[in-house]
Amino acid sequence: MRRMLNLATTLANDRRIRFLAVGGVNTVFGYGIYAALDLYVFAAVPFGYLLSLALSYAIAVTLAFILYRRFVFHVTGQVWTDLTRFVGVYLVSIGVNVVALPILIELFGLNSLVAQAIVLVCTTLISFFGHREFSFRRPSESQA
């Protein structure tokens, strides 16, 4: 039992594991919103998947900022600076998403939910490195 507790403590202290855990929760949440909007709200709208994408990003980014700031990067102060940088990283991610999603759907004929799941792999990597190196970075911070 003690070994399990030590392992859990070690994992909880690893920023990469915390990022994956919070990112996983946020990704499932955001993807769920995307799927609901795509299937039920914008299903009949031409390129409705892009409207679903924009709304789901807006909601998920808000949750992600709070969760990453509090549970992953453990930063305080500079809320507006952090938020501006955070949104900047997500603008890169959504830019990649807005280009890749229509290509996968319109050119390759993939289902919009499958296509979005594929794009999430790329945008997750962009998010991790962008947030670690830019959004929540502090001048005297050592990498954990």
Instruction: Confirm whether pTM is higher than 0.75.
Output: no
Residue 70 has pLDDT above 80, yes or no: yes
What is the Cα–Cα distance from 27 to 69, expressed in whole angstroms? 16
What is the Cα–Cα distance from 70 to 22, expressed in whole angstroms? 10
Which pLDDT value is given to residue 4? 74
Residue 144 has pLDDT above 50, yes or no: no
The pLDDT tens digits of the residues spanning 85-118 come to 999 998 998 899 999 999 999 999 999 999 989 9
**Structure tokens of 114?**
């499958």
What is the Cα–Cα distance from 27 to 5, expressed in whole angstroms? 27
Which pLDDT value is given to residue 141? 53
Chain-centroid distance of CA 40 in Å reads 23
Q: What are the backbone dihedrals phi and psi of residue 72, each rounded to the nearest 5 degrees, phi first?
A: -100, -55
Residue 142 has pLDDT above 90, yes or no: no
